[in-house]
Chain A
């Protein structure tokens, strides 16, 4: 009788265990890192650019991977094409030069040293995209710093602090970039990608507001999410309005089918997208209407202004457009999907909303405010430090804008409940308070300790020239 042999089985088991143990140890030594994006220099690239790429793949892999997936990388446009500056220029990043002496970094050798600027400006972009920059330079986006310094009481009366401005206002509107004696960027003005940033080279704005770095994607700027980083909130809730509108509803339901990557000039209503996004109506070419980077084009009313006016009559920055021409352009955009009767009836409602806002709400409120100032019942010295000034401000700046913009972009809740409904309540409260002051001759209560009203009231010299 043969005895069953356990020995070989035990041996096999041992070998198996050993092997398993060995593999586990190997796995532990090589953790599960994601693959690093490959980059082989297969096309002609200057050696200095090779140095940028090889060093930044190691030091800032996110920036590198982003660029490697971009259209720029596709076209062999490297770091240098945008960041290179000529020797002796003002905005050379002095701090960057030390890396060329660091032997622990790949390509950290002086032979690769080139002057570069940290901040890439629209002027730099215009080396390859001159038409886009030309259009952009005419827009309210590019000139928004000038506009807010002309009309905004927070700035002109110094009612908020420098840091409240940096983290709030200027984050979207842009800072005036300044350098210290050594050429370092003043941290009070940077980082910033505001649409109206004033750059050291004199150009205005930042293309990366909408085409975020380092992808610089056309697809991204076509999505409402590019605009909603700034166009939201109580004072200009364009994204909330869009989301409530039919356009927004359809976008959210069908965006997976949208072809956002269509080549410039080919993005087509009904083919590449079902309902328009912000860019589709305000910027992209559509039918016979040419695409533009000037967002002020195609506007027939300034719905953000206290008193609604035509864009060419907007005093702080009169557009060089004719509202009738621009309305016709916008109607042409509408015609991709809507009939003339539909479009005209829609504009009828919008125009009526504007007229009612102007005549019924804004003009009487403004006249009353002026009367209070004239009679000395309100103090002209500051703004926001008397309750009625806040009421007046919110009437036009908050619900007055929501009402007009809600009517324009067809969001009923914003046209009515967040809009004209609130206008009515505000108007009544303002008039009640004003009436009380006029009747009693009593001066308005002034908030004695207005918090953090420490900001400078000096208009930026680089925009307005030397001031007293």
Chain B
């Protein structure tokens, strides 16, 4: 009986000794590879990060900073999905870097928009219906949240150059000279 307990305790200890560094290293790797700085180590992504730094998603009166991951990956609490998407994109991007031709930013941008889901924006933007100072937006958001069958819209169909448009100066939300408004439906969305 006693011997059994000792073996059990030893096995648990061994488990901890092996898994603790494993988990913490995985976690550390995840944290290290989830920063915009890490994303910008690829030269293909540099312009996107530069544009993001100058955008209102990094500069606003509330001090909230929205990182690459916050929009481009499933939420981390959705652990398996998060890990899978992150690993997949990491491997894919490196493979394409070496195998494919020159990076086409416009093409990549379109693919990213096509992959966006409203739930990614809605992780933060949850209170979209009660904006007394912006009644048009209230109306438009209602048609997105309660879409008529066949009329599904994505947030990025109208908000399509919010972050990664090249700017000459840093954009602070609090110093906007003109009120922000969505661009309206992207003509591409309308099949023009």
Contact = CB atoms under 8 A, between A and B. Distances in A.
Contacts of B185: 123, 126, 130, 133-134
Interface stretch (B1-9, B100-108, B129-137): B129-137
A418 B187 CA distance: 42
A106 interface: no
B184 A125 contact: yes
A48 interface: yes
Given A133-B185, A134-B190, A128 B178 contact: no
Contacts of B179: 46, 48, 80, 84
A127 B135 contact: no
Given A114-B178, A204-B192, A130 B153 contact: yes
Nearest to B142: A128
Contacts of B184: 121, 123-127, 133, 201, 203
A131 interface: yes
A12 to B, nearest CB: 62
Nearest to A290: B148
Interface string A45-57: 0101000000000
B182 to A, nearest CB: 5
Interface string A185-221: 0000000000000000111100000000000000000
Contacts of A44: 132-133
B183 interface: yes
Given A77-B135, A130-B185, A137 B191 contact: yes
Interface in B136-180: 136-137, 139-140, 143-144, 148, 151, 153, 157-158, 177-179
Interface in A46-70: 46, 48
B141 to A, nearest CB: 10
Contact of A131 (B133, B148, B177, B187): B148
A196 B121 CA distance: 34
B183 A123 contact: yes
Contacts of A133: 184-185, 190
Interface string B103-128: 00000000000000000000000000
A131 B139 CA distance: 11
A216 B126 CA distance: 31
Nearest to A81: B136
Q: Which of B137, B139, B158, B192 neighbours the largest number of chain A CB atoms within 10 Å of its CB?
A: B192
A75 interface: yes
A124 B133 CA distance: 18
Interface string A108-151: 00000011000001011111111101100110000000000000
A115 B178 contact: yes
Interface in A338-394: none
A81 B151 CA distance: 23
Q: Which of B144, B184, B189 neighbours the largest number of chain A CB atoms within 10 Å of its CB?
A: B184
Contacts of A126: 158, 184-185
Interface residues of B, number: 27
A126 B184 CA distance: 5
Given A46-B179, A114-B177, A125-B184, A130 B192 contact: no
B135 A75 contact: yes
A257 B122 CA distance: 47
B181 interface: yes
A87 interface: yes
A202 B178 contact: no
Contacts of B187: 123, 201-203
A86 interface: yes
Contacts of B139: 128-129
Contact of B190 (A76, A80, A137, A290): A137
B158 A203 contact: no
B33 to A, nearest CB: 34
Contacts of A77: 135-136
Interface string A215-250: 000000000000000000000000000000000000
B190 A131 contact: no
A86 B151 CA distance: 27
A344 to B, nearest CB: 29
A81 B137 CA distance: 10
Contacts of B144: 130
Contacts of A81: 136, 181
A44 B133 CA distance: 6
Contact of B151 (A46, A131, A138, A202): A131
A130 B143 contact: yes
A131 B177 CA distance: 30
A125 B181 CA distance: 12
Nearest to A198: B192
A80 to B, nearest CB: 7
Nearest to A48: B178
Nearest to A123: B184
Contact of B192 (A75, A115, A129, A137): A137
Contacts of B136: 77, 81, 127-128
A84 B177 contact: no
Q: Which of A46, A133, A134 neighbours the largest number of chain B CB atoms within 10 Å of its CB?
A: A134
5 contacts: A44-B132, A124-B184, A128-B139, A201-B184, A203-B190
Task: Identify the 4 closest CB pairs spanning chains A and B, nearest first.
Answer: A128-B136, A202-B187, A137-B190, A126-B185
